[in-house]
Every structure is written in structure tokens, then in C-alpha cells.
Amino acid sequence: MKAVIVVDMLRGFLEPGRALYGGDACRAIIPATREFLERQRDQGALLVFLADTHDPDDLEFRMFPRHCVRGTDEVEVIPELADLRAAGIVVPKRRYSGFFDTPLDVILSDRDVTEVAMVGVMTDICVLHTAADLRNRDYETTVVTDCVASFDPAAHAFALAHMRDILGARLATSAELAGTAARE
Ligand code: ZN
């Protein structure tokens, strides 16, 4: 089975004014991500929404401003993807990797998932660390390059190259994956 892991497409990262708002580059991926997820859902892929969710006194707040605290609206998937979230599974996480202290491994293995596509934010933080843990578990992993973003463009570029060259992930655009690239 195929799965799409949707990383942290949450109000806490994608709404202007939030402490860890990722900026225009992050908002810019919303339409392509929505289109990609609709197509994947229609083709029967499992949609897994990772949701950064912290306790109020989480030690991560020594490094980052307080964000995505359990029980606040910051941990909600953005309204633009709400119907797709309802068709999928939400997995709260408290560290960068979606595998750390979560049931993600069981969710994927119970459904015989072998191929995973990744979308979401931030390319160089939670996408990267989750990609590393996917590759450590030998999942075929594709990062959808027009559906990932970061507040830091240089780190975004580094992370894409690292995932391709060191982790062995495939990079592809959503158009390439839809077989429509030649028409664009
Ligand atoms: Zn966090």
C-alpha cells in the first residue's frame, strides 16, 4: 500500500502571526499539496497527518518559542486540508521525527505500506528527520518537492539534497508523480 505522510500542516506553522509561522514559502505549497492529496486519496493512498503537539512545559521550548501546545488551535490541521484530514489518520508527535514515541510504525506496517510520499513543513526539520527514520526502516520514500517548504530557503535546499543523496529518497514534483509534467 501507498501512504502519504503530511508533516505539520498545522495552524501553528501556517497562519501568519503564530510564534513559529513559516512565512510565505510555507503558505505557497497549500494549493499544490491539496491537489496532490486529493489525487492520492482518490487513488486509495493512506493519508497520515503528523501533528506537532507539545506539553505546555516541553523541553523543546528551550530551543524554539512555545508552539503547538496540546489543546490549543495551533495543533489543528489547517482548514484548507480539513476534509482530507477527516479522510485520514492524525498522529500527534512531540519531536521532529514522526516515529519518535508515536504509533506511526505500527500504522504503516499494519497496512502493509511499502511506499511513502512526503509533503509538509519544515523541509529541514520534521520532514528531514521523519524521512531519515523512514529510510532507516527501508520504506521507499518520495519527497514531493513542490509540496514541502521551510522558513529557511538555504536549509530547505540542503535538506532536499541530503534526503536524495544521503538518505536515498526520491525527489519528484507533484506533476511528475501525476504523470502530467510533460504538459506543463
Ligand atoms: Zn515542535
**55 Cα to the center of ligand 1, angstroms:** 10
Question: What pLDDT shows up at residue 70?
Answer: 98
**28 Cα to the center of ligand 1, angstroms:** 21
**26 Cα to the center of ligand 1, angstroms:** 16
**161 Cα to the center of ligand 1, angstroms:** 23
Of 93, 149, 100, give the one whose Cα is nearest residue 121.
149
136: three-class secondary structure by DSSP = helix
Sheet holding 115-121, edge to edge: 89-93, 46-52, 2-7, 115-121, 140-149, 170-172
Question: What pLDDT shows up at residue 179?
Answer: 79
15: three-class secondary structure by DSSP = coil
**80 Cα to the center of ligand 1, angstroms:** 21
Of 20, 18, 14, give the one whose Cα is nearest residue 147.
14
- Residue 162 carries which DSSP code? H
Residue-by-residue DSSP string for 87-135: TSEEEEESSSSTTTTSSHHHHHHHTT--EEEEEEE-IIIIIHHHHHHHH
Question: What pLDDT shows up at residue 10?
Answer: 98
2-183 under CATH 3.60.20.10, yes or no: no
- Please report, for the chain, the start and end positions of each structural domain, with discontinuous segments joined by +: 2-183
Question: What pLDDT shows up at residue 184?
Answer: 45
**60 Cα to the center of ligand 1, angstroms:** 7
**75 Cα to the center of ligand 1, angstroms:** 10
71: three-class secondary structure by DSSP = coil
**54 Cα to the center of ligand 1, angstroms:** 7
**109 Cα to the center of ligand 1, angstroms:** 25
As averages over each run of 10 residues, the pLDDT of the chain (184 residues) reads 97 97 98 98 97 97 96 98 97 98 98 97 98 98 98 98 98 91 53
